[in-house]
Amino acid sequence: MRLIITILMVLAGLTLMAVSYFRLAAPWCATSVSCSDPTLPWAASLVVLGILIAISASIFYTVYRGDE
């Protein structure tokens, strides 16, 4: 269970980072003003949230006591 949840946390964090980076944040273009606006406001904070979830997996792995 410990390992499964840890892997899920890492995958969830990486997925959130990837989705918010490539789909929700400002698009990869420089042809108009709309390229500067994020598709979803606060998408940048979702990238950070993804990083925090992925790193938190390490704390969960060592602190979780359910298997014992």
Partner 1 sequence: MTAEAMTKRELPQGVGTLTPGWLGFFAVAIIVVLTGLLAYANQLNQGLVVTGLRDLGTVRGAPWSLYVAFDVYFVGVSFAGISTAALIRLFNIEKLKSVARMAELLTVVALLLAALAIMADLGQPLRGIVNLFRYGRPQSPFFGTFALVIAGYLFASLAYLYITSRQDAARLAERPSRLRGLYRVWATGYEDTPAQRHRDRHVTFWLALAILPLLITAHSSLGFVFGLQVGRPGWFGSLQAPAFVVMAGVSGIGHLIILAALVRSALRADRRINLDVFAWLGRLLLVLVFTYLYFTVVEVLTTIYQASAAEQGLSDALLTGRYAWIFWGSIATLLAAAAVLGWMTLTRFWSVGWSVFAGIFVNVAAVGKRYLIVVPSQTHGQLLPYGTGSYSPTWVEFVIIAGLFALGALMIGGFMKIFPIMPMEEGE
Q: Applying CB under 8 A, which of residues 7, 11, 39, 42 lies at the interface with partner 1?
A: 42
For helices 2-19 and 43-63, angle between their N-to-C axes, nearest 10 degrees: 170
SS3 68: coil
Pick one of 11, 15, 34, 36: the residue that binds partner 1 (CB under 8 A): 36
Least Å distance between CB 60 and partner 1? 9
How far, in Å, CA of 29 to CA of 33, rounded?
Answer: 10
Q: Distance (Å, rounded) from C-alpha 66 to C-alpha 51? A: 25
Q: Which residues bind partner 1 (CB under 8 A)?
A: 20-21, 25-26, 28, 36-38, 41-45, 47-48, 51-52, 55-56, 58-59, 61-63, 65, 68
